[in-house]
Amino acid sequence: MNPISETVRVEVTGIVQGVGFRPFVYNLAIQLSLTGWVRNTSAGVEMELNGDRQNISQFLERLTNQLPPLARIDTIHTETIPSNGSVTFEILSSQPQPGQFLPISPDVAICLDCQQELFDPQNRRFHYPFINCTNCGPRYTIIRDIPYDRPNTTMAGFDLCPDCLSEYQDPRDRRFHAQPVACPVCGPYLTFVVNGEPIATHEEALQTARQWLRQGKILAIKGLGGYHLACDATNPPVVAELRRRKKRSDKPFALMCFDQQRLKKHAVCSREEWKLLTSPACPIVLMSRDKKSPVAREAAPNQNTLGIMLPYTPLHLLLLEPEPDYPEILVMTSGNLSDEPIAYRDEDALERLSPLADGFLIHNRPIHMRVDDSVVRIFQSKPFPIRRSRGYAPDPIPLPVHIPSVLAVGAELKNVFCLTRDRYAFLSHHIGDMENYETFSSFEEGISHLKHLFRIHPERIACDLHPDYLATKYAIQQSRETNLPLIKIQHHHAHLASCLADNHWNSKEPVIGLSLDGTGMGTDGAIWGGEILLGSYRNFQRLFHLKYAPLAGGDISIRKPARMALAHLWASGLDWEPDLPPVQALCYEERLALRSSLEHQLNTIPTSSMGRLFDAAAALIGLRFESNYEGQAAIELEAVADLEENKSYAIEINHQEIDPAMLWNAIIRDWREGVAVPILAARFHNSIAHFLLECCNTIYRDHSIKTVALSGGVWQNQYLLEKTKSQLEQNGFRVLIHHQVPANDGGIALGQAVIAGSVELSVQL
Ligand code: ZN
Ligand code: ZN
Ligand code: FE
């Protein structure tokens, strides 16, 4: 029987560039004796195939079933066309298509094949810190434009040597069309810099850096998306010195160690955690600290967790390669002073980081996009993101509903913005706290870069209600300049919608939202944060909230939980008895001034913040009176809580208000009776979980709603999350939590975008 031959044209979208997709297509076509061609477009990949009909259908089947590890197909369109007469199969050069877009791969941790070559003395890339291939290496951080070809990356300035060129051109090679391909002959190299002067290059630079780390020095090291500050994590004076130089008092440092064997000495690592650590994204994973770990306490003060990542670039592997008497685990914290953004441009880094670092290990491959490390936790065997950045951004999140294109600018802290088009939400990398000019300009640059890369022309702009957020001001100005409708969105409604979108919720039915965080502007001008909402993408109702307590003096009360404890006692009509820890923590003058501002409502704002309730509790039981970073009191309260304790305190719910007065009374009584801090901390957590359940039960009785979405930074508290979720589930509720974007403000732009895209504009205009 004669084979029936035909010709088909195939268009594929998804993550199909920079992931070895065309070589995969090429090899598949050769194996099946098909002729034709394949090429990248700015919408994806297109190809034409000539050959036996059965082979073509086998090709199409294997195309979707045997994808390279990093590729993902979103759509595939096939049509039969007249024969193109080609006699070979070729990879054609890229074809830009105006207006179209395609997803861009995030940066990918070094693959096992490359690791093997890196440590193989026979390999021509032995110990070469920039080894990569089609399956691994830098992507988003080096891409200037699409299509993803070498001239559009920061590798454009490096001409390929004959060896690299032949690998790059050979479809059977695992570096075929690997855009960042390089070797010691033609690629980037290391330089070690002290006091602005290069003192060593190449392997010698690496060995000098290792020598310095061994001697207890602090180094600035240029990585994938920016600079790290590194030192021996088991050397307490050095870690303390880094803390002093960085002006960062208690916030934990990220750590990096070579492999599983070494990791196990420091953290209790589950199978899921290990899987996450070794995934292509290679994030920092928060794990329980092993009590015997020699990591300096100064690396993560008052914490029972450690944030550890594995080496994700060849340079990291070379820096951590084990040797006797060499540090086994390094601090790898972002290269910045306190709240500034991470440094990524060489001149800027050399200037800003020189007071912080003894020496610099740098290289000459430019970073185009500044991208911080991601932080993820495992909760009930699934990822629970804390910061979604390197390795994840700019991978889009599929939208559950059809909406017009939106720019959502996010919130003030942990800013991440979001651009949508078609069925995709492109969340930016972590921008940071929008408190200074550098962060704001990287926010602006980030927006124009992503708009350009993904060819997005927003039709609406979404922002927070808070008029003072820099992101809000930017949105207002943009909307004026472009005449695009601006939609202002209540912070806790955005949290709720973010959790719904994260769970691909596509129903118009409202759900219960437990939006719990530190700060968000309410529709009444108060600072909200302990909110029990009933809402959908379109709208929301506030059903319950924590009773307002006065926040006196704004920021100072956020930094001083002791003041918050006294304000809460005052609001509950309880005396500031002299033996109480927060009373003792503040001097007479400060208490006097505080009382007068509370009584005369001077410079006070009412707040229903759950974050401040945790602060007050931590101070009331004598655990923490001052906070050196956001959420510190709550994090430490969780860290001490006794997991075995099941008792809780009663809390009164008056109409819409959850009144903590009885809670404070009970805590003080227990404290006076000498109940230990871990028990008090546990009972406090249990009480919150308990009243949340009570509120949900009431809402179920009134509205027959059985779905609850948990969002807001408070849910990073695993103790509370675990308790609340299990109690709700035992009572028949379906509980939605975050898995793709953070529960904190780093995920809020997704909620803003979906709300802005869903509301009827006539109402807004
Ligand atoms: Zn590789
Ligand atoms: Zn080369
Ligand atoms: Fe928030």
**pLDDT per position as a tens digit, 696-751:** 999 999 999 999 999 999 999 999 999 999 999 999 999 999 999 999 999 999 99
| 19-28, 260-269, 476-485, 690-699: the lowest-pLDDT one | 19-28
Note the Cα 2 to chain centre separation in Å.
Answer: 57
C-alpha–C-alpha distance, residues 136 and 363, integer Å: 19
Going from the Cα of 621 to the center of ligand 1, the distance in angstroms, rounded, reads: 52
| 85-99, 132-146, 252-266, 321-335: the lowest-pLDDT one | 85-99
Going from the Cα of 174 to the center of ligand 1, the distance in angstroms, rounded, reads: 8
Going from the Cα of 151 to the center of ligand 1, the distance in angstroms, rounded, reads: 20
Max Cα-Cα span within the chain: 100
What pLDDT sits at residue 343? 87
Going from the Cα of 103 to the center of ligand 3, the distance in angstroms, rounded, reads: 28
> Which one of the ligands is nearest to 611 CA?
3
Going from the Cα of 92 to the center of ligand 2, the distance in angstroms, rounded, reads: 23
> Which one of the ligands is nearest to 125 CA?
2
Residues for the chain: how many in total?
765
Going from the Cα of 368 to the center of ligand 1, the distance in angstroms, rounded, reads: 21
Q: Quickly state the pLDDT bin for 7 (edges 50, 70, 90).
A: very high
Strands 359-363, 375-379: pairing is: unpaired
What pLDDT sits at residue 96? 67
Going from the Cα of 249 to the center of ligand 3, the distance in angstroms, rounded, reads: 24
Going from the Cα of 186 to the center of ligand 2, the distance in angstroms, rounded, reads: 4
Q: Give residue-wise pLDDT tens across range 547-597.
A: 999 999 988 999 999 999 999 999 999 999 999 999 999 999 999 999 999
Going from the Cα of 701 to the center of ligand 1, the distance in angstroms, rounded, reads: 56
Residues 620 and 565: beta-carbon distance below 8 Å: yes
276/1: higher pLDDT: 276
Going from the Cα of 410 to the center of ligand 3, the distance in angstroms, rounded, reads: 10
> Which one of the ligands is nearest to 182 CA?
2
Q: Which protein residues have their CB within 5 A of the ion that is ligand 3?
A: 517, 520, 745
Q: Quickly state the pLDDT bin for 95 (edges 50, 70, 90).
A: confident
Residues 257 and 367: beta-carbon distance below 8 Å: no
> Which one of the ligands is nearest to 112 CA?
1
> Which one of the ligands is nearest to 517 CA?
3
Going from the Cα of 161 to the center of ligand 2, the distance in angstroms, rounded, reads: 4
Handedness of CA 378, 396, 461, 764 (dihedral sign): negative
Going from the Cα of 163 to the center of ligand 2, the distance in angstroms, rounded, reads: 6
Residues 46 and 12: beta-carbon distance below 8 Å: yes
DSSP 432: B
What pLDDT sits at residue 764? 43
> Which one of the ligands is nearest to 610 CA?
3
Going from the Cα of 184 to the center of ligand 2, the distance in angstroms, rounded, reads: 6
> Which one of the ligands is nearest to 118 CA?
1
pLDDT higher than 70, residue 30:
yes
pLDDT higher than 70, residue 639:
yes
> Which one of the ligands is nearest to 132 CA?
1
Going from the Cα of 230 to the center of ligand 3, the distance in angstroms, rounded, reads: 31
Going from the Cα of 202 to the center of ligand 2, the distance in angstroms, rounded, reads: 15
Q: Quickly state the pLDDT bin for 645 (edges 50, 70, 90).
A: very high
Q: Give residue-wise pLDDT tens across range 348-359.
A: 999 999 999 999
Going from the Cα of 167 to the center of ligand 2, the distance in angstroms, rounded, reads: 9
- Average the pLDDT over 321-328 and give the result: 96
Q: Give residue-wise pLDDT tens across range 207-236.
A: 999 999 999 999 999 999 999 999 999 999
pLDDT higher than 90, residue 17:
no
Neighbours of 116 (CB within 10 A): 10
Residues 275 and 287: beta-carbon distance below 8 Å: no
Going from the Cα of 162 to the center of ligand 2, the distance in angstroms, rounded, reads: 7
103/309: higher pLDDT: 309
What pLDDT sits at residue 756? 98
Domains of the chain in start order, with CATH, are 5-91 (3.30.70.100), 105-384 (3.90.870.30), 396-503+747-764 (3.30.420.360), 515-738 (3.30.420.40)
Going from the Cα of 492 to the center of ligand 3, the distance in angstroms, rounded, reads: 7
Asked if the peptide bond before residue 147 counts as cis, ω within 30 degrees of 0, the response is yes
Beta bridge partners of 535: 511, 540
Neighbours of 348 (CB within 10 A): 13
Going from the Cα of 691 to the center of ligand 3, the distance in angstroms, rounded, reads: 20
C-alpha–C-alpha distance, residues 158 and 78, integer Å: 38
The three state secondary structure string of 588-644 is HHHHHHHHHHHHCCCCEEEECCHHHHHHHHHHHCCCCCCCCCCCHHHHHHHHHCCCC
Q: Is 372 helix (H, G, I), strand (E, B) or coil?
A: coil
> Which one of the ligands is nearest to 716 CA?
3
> Which one of the ligands is nearest to 189 CA?
2
> Which one of the ligands is nearest to 134 CA?
1
Helices 610-620 and 661-672 cross at an angle (nearest 10°) of 20
Q: Give residue-wise pLDDT tens across range 102-142.
A: 678 899 999 999 999 999 999 999 999 999 998 899 999 99
C-alpha–C-alpha distance, residues 494 and 463, integer Å: 10
> Which one of the ligands is nearest to 744 CA?
3
Going from the Cα of 123 to the center of ligand 3, the distance in angstroms, rounded, reads: 51
> Which one of the ligands is nearest to 493 CA?
3
What pLDDT sits at residue 765? 41
Going from the Cα of 110 to the center of ligand 2, the distance in angstroms, rounded, reads: 18
Residue 538 CA: distances (Å) to CA of 258, 510, 749, 755: 48, 9, 15, 6
Q: Quickly state the pLDDT bin for 438 (edges 50, 70, 90).
A: confident
pLDDT higher than 60, residue 375:
yes
pLDDT higher than 60, residue 763:
no
Going from the Cα of 471 to the center of ligand 3, the distance in angstroms, rounded, reads: 14
Neighbours of 39 (CB within 10 A): 17
Going from the Cα of 61 to the center of ligand 1, the distance in angstroms, rounded, reads: 26
C-alpha–C-alpha distance, residues 141 and 143, integer Å: 6
pLDDT higher than 60, residue 2:
no
pLDDT higher than 80, residue 339:
no
Residue 62 CA: distances (Å) to CA of 7, 26, 59, 416: 17, 12, 5, 38
What percent of the chain stands above pLDDT 90? 87
Sorted by sequence, the CB contacts under 8 Å of residue 148 that are 6+ apart come out as: 17, 18, 40, 104, 105, 139, 179
Nearest to 530 by CA among 560, 584, 491, 565: 491
Q: Write down the residue that tokens 């050979």 correspond to.
A: 170
Going from the Cα of 27 to the center of ligand 2, the distance in angstroms, rounded, reads: 24
Going from the Cα of 364 to the center of ligand 2, the distance in angstroms, rounded, reads: 15
> Which one of the ligands is nearest to 185 CA?
2
Half-sphere exposure of 756 (CA within 13 A, CB side): 34
Going from the Cα of 517 to the center of ligand 3, the distance in angstroms, rounded, reads: 5
Nearest to 691 by CA among 644, 740, 657: 657
Residues 761 and 429: beta-carbon distance below 8 Å: no
Hey, what are 160's tokens?
Answer: 């390929």
Residues 514 and 709: beta-carbon distance below 8 Å: yes
